[in-house]
Structure 1
């Protein structure tokens, strides 16, 4: 995959900002590179708290949703929360169940089975709610596209409140977007075109939390009683890959603080079971350790098991459920690796792999893994990727996108091919008839306008940093920028044309590298956790086969390298030394 290194050059009075906020000019530069501009925005970025969040009542229909729920609670009318089977849907369901339950509401829940019910508010879920005598359906993380299903529920006499965060469906008419809201009694979604809420990037669990907060305040209750639910908001925000900007940054930072000190019983067991050091828990651990375990239940079993973990009342129950989720996730990892290899075969050996938008049909792949596989293939080849798999009489698929490609917008251009589709810019889901698979591949590529430059991986470099500046004090300042994730990435530093002083293979499989680099004034320990063989391939390409074969025997002396990196500390045998972790490299 081609790379395009770009040095960010965003100007500001870095010395003045540093002096005003008690930070170094370098840190001020990093904040400006994240488009944080103005004293108020910088203050919120560095020190924002829950008190800085906007009032949920600003959302369109929030007042109506609160009014309906207050009435239903007073009447004792049965309310059913209907969530989704992913991490966001599970956390949102838990937030609504807990919030309403503490107010004395008559509330239960239903979560779709991925295989039997499919995504979102299906007719199966409507029928089950009606048969159970449900008065009011309250959706979370779904519902915005369920026009027909909600019309059915209304026809059966039920009240319906939608809370969601996905894009509102629309049709293009004479160049204008005509949006189609479902016929619910209230539709709370910050992505509504007519919603004045200033922050549009909330996940479904955050919208659910906002609803509960508004409900509590309207009923004269202390919304601080909901603070423990910020853990679930943080987990859902990271797990659903929301941008860690604005309100999301506050939610995640607050939730991480709580998870490190006093996590709920179920989450405490999951943290212990997965071997995460609670005191050092970060957004990374949510995204790559805890989150996948929660998601695994909805992928391979039932999302109810993850919900039961959050609801666990005893340590024994929590430990058993946490262990079950870890086993499920371990199984999911093995299945994923097999599916990724099959997808790579298609990319490498079939015409489908030569197109700008990859549409890979893997009929035997478990449909719950399609999104993960699509994400892995996108990372490997730098192309928007859809993975399709058989699901009964139809084909279902998930897509993962690159920065320059809006997946939902592009799918909308081919909407007549689908039985159902939805999503947002970076990810989407769809279903279609089997005979339309090849047509979909052709049509989605026919409307694609991506250029070669769009598809080159852009490596945005924050600044060139001399190795002498890699100190513990500088690392401590970088912690002020956390949590890191989508929308607030780790800073990327660069060193150009460094000399290699030593090189050796490390790791159990001897497939990683430890180097000593010299930038002209300072020698720095460096580690590269990527593919050592690919590194040596580039050495051979640039310096010849002899350089490759003699590399570890001193051949590195004739090789110079440019690297991007993040600074860190290597702890070994009680000794701490500064090091850099190489993220990208170019043999000079």
Structure 2
């Protein structure tokens, strides 16, 4: 049985007149309401949002230490110094590393440059003393970190002692300490330049950049200092887009512009490795958007660092031979399948543990699964977070100590919570919504006690907030409308895919489709208009079946499968165009549902209850 999470439904009701915006923009009231819900309540804001390809990127030199970092890199190239780029094993770290290496090599083809990525299992996250010592033995003059380095005080101090210059490019939270007057200050690592938008003294408006975007900004700054044409770097935006999507960065402002421009390039990519990965995944020639990147391509890159080393993913991006690229792409796809199986098994085990020990009653869910492969701990923690709508941490036994990954909810800063528990931790890092940690096994009990004490239980603890953009009757759905709202893409954090709601829908039949029954076709009628909705994936099909059985009885579910309904329900759904057998059609994807008797009254200042 699939766990049934608690939900509270809210109808977004942001201030703004959709009729006025619709008239000024020449768009539908539906699109106008969606824009207002995302903060675009004037024609000027809406135009900027709807035309990200026309928006200029912000000045890279607005980032603190960018001038210094770019000058150090330019001097290193001019003096033919040996440069080492140190990345990370996730998608953002891989793309950051490639952007820096490719950008530097395009700038100076004879550059003496190499790269390293720490082994997830043997070394853990980020640059470490071992990497610094290897760099010294290689004769490295300059280390550039990407997507890491902010918390690597010991490693960077070692680099300083060995006479190696270091430039940090990162985007993770910065630990805070107190100065001699007891005032909080950020604890920056001992590097010549620390380029991180999270710095308090950083005047850039772009606080939500991923690591790859920061790396791209450094290359832009380098080209500017050297008097080279920055337009020649446009091809690197496709890698920024992949990282921004996969790192679940905000999809507003600068990130929206970077992603839109990058996706346009990605759809016409000349990168042999990327083309091979698209081909092997069966999406070559199709429109590559946020879904394809986030759920198809991205997991393949991540799988390399999770199960083997990220070296394979990096080599794929550098590969120029088609046959070799296809072989590497197939290996990445196979690794991702193995990762999926491990995740499914790990999720099953963690949910069993949570139920057996009532771990969901302690505010923050902290589960210790010694046998779980540490590379999937973060994914499993995310599933726990989504199921229980609670901050979640999954711990597992690593090579030398316990490793853990945490995933949070809006309003709870996971990084700050770990900072409050740093006495129990040997290492930690991350940001508000996701973090990693290491600790000795005997520290698990005090760690759990301390981190649970950091959590203030809100009144709706454990209830997932379902934010519906607007009520949209079936009769209002048209192909033209679905195509119109596609301009909301690229979608993601801060700009979720539009979610529509409808009350008192008569569901009169559900049918399993496909060879493995992974799709439910749901026949519905509302105010005389019939529509078919889809529930996609084995878990969603099972969740729906369990929900109806639990709330209406086995007989009712049988009646629905036999087409002898109806059952009155509320639904929340998304719309998309789909091509099937050469014909385009509207897909109505059911995301949430409830039998009318299950609804609860909710109120909030900027939202109305549904």
The structure-2 alpha-carbon separation of the partners of 1:457 and 1:106, relative to structure 1 and needing over 3 Å to count, comes to same
Determine the structure 1 residue equivalent to 2:249.
242
Deviation at 1:183, TM superposition (A): 1.4
The structure-2 alpha-carbon separation of the partners of 1:500 and 1:317, relative to structure 1 and needing over 3 Å to count, comes to same
Provide Cα deviations, 1:116-160, integer angstroms capped at 9, x if missing partner.
222111001110111100111111111111112111111111111
Q: What aligned pairs does 1:79-228 form with structure 2 within 5 A after superposition?
A: 79-104=83-108, 105-171=111-177, 177-228=184-235
| Alpha-carbon separation, structure 2, partners of 1:8 and 1:63 | 43
Deviation at 1:469, TM superposition (A): 1.2
| Alpha-carbon separation, structure 1, partners of 2:514 and 2:532 | 16
Deviation at 1:180, TM superposition (A): 0.5
| Alpha-carbon separation, structure 1, partners of 2:540 and 2:122 | 40
2:79 aligned to 75, 87, 90, which one? Answer: 75
The structure-2 alpha-carbon separation of the partners of 1:450 and 1:74, relative to structure 1 and needing over 3 Å to count, comes to same
TM-score, L = length of structure 1: 0.96
Provide Cα deviations, 1:253-309, integer angstroms capped at 9, x if missing partner.
111111212341110000101111433211111111110110111111111111100
**Local SS of the residue matching 1:278:** coil
The structure-2 alpha-carbon separation of the partners of 1:545 and 1:289, relative to structure 1 and needing over 3 Å to count, comes to closer
Q: Is the contact made by 1:404 and 1:454 (CA closer than 8 Å) also made in structure 2?
A: no
| Alpha-carbon separation, structure 1, partners of 2:328 and 2:541 | 39
| Alpha-carbon separation, structure 2, partners of 1:324 and 1:538 | 38
Determine the structure 1 residue equivalent to 2:560.
551
Determine the structure 2 residue equivalent to 1:443.
450
| Alpha-carbon separation, structure 1, partners of 2:515 and 2:91 | 33
Q: Is the contact made by 1:377 and 1:385 (CA closer than 8 Å) also made in structure 2?
A: yes
TM-score, L = length of structure 2: 0.92
The answer to which of 397-406 and 164-173 deviates more is 164-173
**Local SS of the residue matching 2:487:** helix
Determine the structure 2 residue equivalent to 1:325.
332
Q: What aligned pairs does 1:243-282 form with structure 2 within 5 A after superposition?
A: 243-282=250-289
Determine the structure 1 residue equivalent to 2:34.
30
Deviation at 1:539, TM superposition (A): 3.5
**Local SS of the residue matching 2:438:** strand
| Alpha-carbon separation, structure 1, partners of 2:392 and 2:93 | 24
Deviation at 1:453, TM superposition (A): 0.9
Deviation at 1:542, TM superposition (A): 4.5
Q: Is the contact made by 2:343 and 2:380 (CA closer than 8 Å) also made in structure 1?
A: yes
Q: What aligned pairs does 1:370-519 form with structure 2 within 5 A after superposition?
A: 370-510=377-517, 512-519=519-526
1:565 aligned to 565, 573, 581, which one? Answer: 573
Deviation at 1:505, TM superposition (A): 2.9
The structure-2 alpha-carbon separation of the partners of 1:500 and 1:336, relative to structure 1 and needing over 3 Å to count, comes to closer
The answer to which of 84-93 and 572-581 deviates more is 572-581
**Local SS of the residue matching 1:448:** coil
The structure-2 alpha-carbon separation of the partners of 1:326 and 1:186, relative to structure 1 and needing over 3 Å to count, comes to same
Larger RCO (alpha carbons 8 Å, 6+ apart): 2
Determine the structure 2 residue equivalent to 1:527.
534
**Local SS of the residue matching 1:363:** coil
Provide Cα deviations, 1:144-187, integer angstroms capped at 9, x if missing partner.
11112111111111111111000111136899532101111111
The structure-2 alpha-carbon separation of the partners of 1:213 and 1:37, relative to structure 1 and needing over 3 Å to count, comes to farther
Question: Runs of 5+ in structure 2 lacking a partner?
Answer: 597-610
Deviation at 1:540, TM superposition (A): 4.6
Question: Runs of 5+ in structure 1 lacking a partner?
Answer: none
**Local SS of the residue matching 1:435:** helix
The structure-2 alpha-carbon separation of the partners of 1:112 and 1:543, relative to structure 1 and needing over 3 Å to count, comes to closer
The structure-2 alpha-carbon separation of the partners of 1:572 and 1:131, relative to structure 1 and needing over 3 Å to count, comes to closer
| Moved beyond 6 Å, runs of 4+ | 172-175
| Alpha-carbon separation, structure 2, partners of 1:94 and 1:573 | 38
Provide Cα deviations, 1:166-223, integer angstroms capped at 9, x if missing partner.
0111136899532101111111101100000011000001000001011101111011
Q: Is the contact made by 1:405 and 1:450 (CA closer than 8 Å) also made in structure 2?
A: no
The answer to which of 444-453 and 309-318 deviates more is 444-453
| Alpha-carbon separation, structure 2, partners of 1:479 and 1:577 | 14
